Amino acid sequence: MNRPDKRISEFIISMHDASMYLSASEFQEWTLKEIQSLIDFDFAIWGSGDGRSRQLHTATILHQVDSLFDTWEEVKHEDPYANLVIANTGKTWNSKVLPKFHHCRAYDEHWGRYDAKQLISTMEIDPKTGLHIFVTLARDTLENDFSQADMALKNVITQHLFLAARHNDMHNLRSQQAPAAFVDRHGLLNAALPEFIALLTNEWGRKAKQQLPAEVTEALWTKGCYRNPRIVINAQRFKNRLLVRAGICAAVSLSAREQDVAWAYVKGHTHKEVARLLDISPTTVRTHIARIYQKLEVSDKAELASWLHSNRFLL
Split into its structural domains, the chain has a count of 3
> Helix, strand, or coil here: 148?
helix
Whether 261 and 234 share a structural domain: no
Residues contacting 55, CB < 8 A, separation 6+: 49, 186
Tens digits of residue pLDDT in 268-301: 999 999 999 999 999 999 999 999 998 888 888 8
In CATH, what number is assigned to the domain containing residue 299? 1.10.10.10
What pLDDT shows up at residue 140?
96
Residue 2 pLDDT greater than 60, yes or no: no
What pLDDT shows up at residue 16?
96
What pLDDT shows up at residue 314?
45
Residue 172 pLDDT greater than 90, yes or no: yes
Q: How confident is the model at residue 312 (pLDDT cuts 50, 70, 90)?
A: low
Whether 169 and 31 share a structural domain: yes
Poorest-pLDDT segment among 152-166, 212-226, 246-260? 246-260
Tens digits of residue pLDDT in 186-219: 999 999 999 999 999 999 999 999 999 999 999 9
Give the percent of the chain with pLDDT over 70. Answer: 96
Residue 3 pLDDT greater than 70, yes or no: no
Residue at a domain's end among 173, 206, 240: 173
Residue 51 pLDDT greater than 90, yes or no: yes
Residue 315 lies in a domain: no
Residues contacting 133, CB < 8 A, separation 6+: 47, 48, 123, 124, 125, 126, 162
Whether 99 and 167 share a structural domain: yes
Residue 85 lies in a domain: yes
In CATH, what number is assigned to the domain containing residue 44? 3.30.450.80
Whether 10 and 41 share a structural domain: yes
Identify which of 159, 237, 242 has the alpha carbon closest to the alpha carbon of residue 196.
242
Q: How confident is the model at residue 256 (pLDDT cuts 50, 70, 90)?
A: confident
Residue 93 lies in a domain: yes
d(CA 65, CA 179): 34
pTM (predicted TM-score) = 0.79
Whether 155 and 300 share a structural domain: no
Q: Please give the DSSP secondary-structure letter assigned to residue 229.
A: S
Mean pLDDT of 27-56: 96
d(CA 231, CA 242): 18
Q: How confident is the model at residue 250 (pLDDT cuts 50, 70, 90)?
A: low
Tens digits of residue pLDDT in 80-96: 999 999 999 999 999 99
Domain containing 238: what range?
Answer: 177-248
Task: Report which of residues 169 and 254 the model is more confident about.
Answer: 169
Residue 121 pLDDT greater than 80, yes or no: yes
Mean pLDDT of 133-140: 98
Whether 78 and 127 share a structural domain: yes
Residue at a domain's end among 173, 203, 232: 173
Return the H-helix or E-strand segment holding 159.
helix 148-174
Whether 230 and 216 share a structural domain: yes
Whether 119 and 11 share a structural domain: yes
Whether 160 and 181 share a structural domain: no
Residue 1 pLDDT greater than 50, yes or no: no
What pLDDT shows up at residue 209?
93
Residue at a domain's end among 155, 173, 191: 173
d(CA 265, CA 284): 13
What pLDDT shows up at residue 313?
57
Average pLDDT, the chain: 92
Whether 24 and 143 share a structural domain: yes
Whether 69 and 117 share a structural domain: yes
Residue 275 lies in a domain: yes
Whether 162 and 189 share a structural domain: no
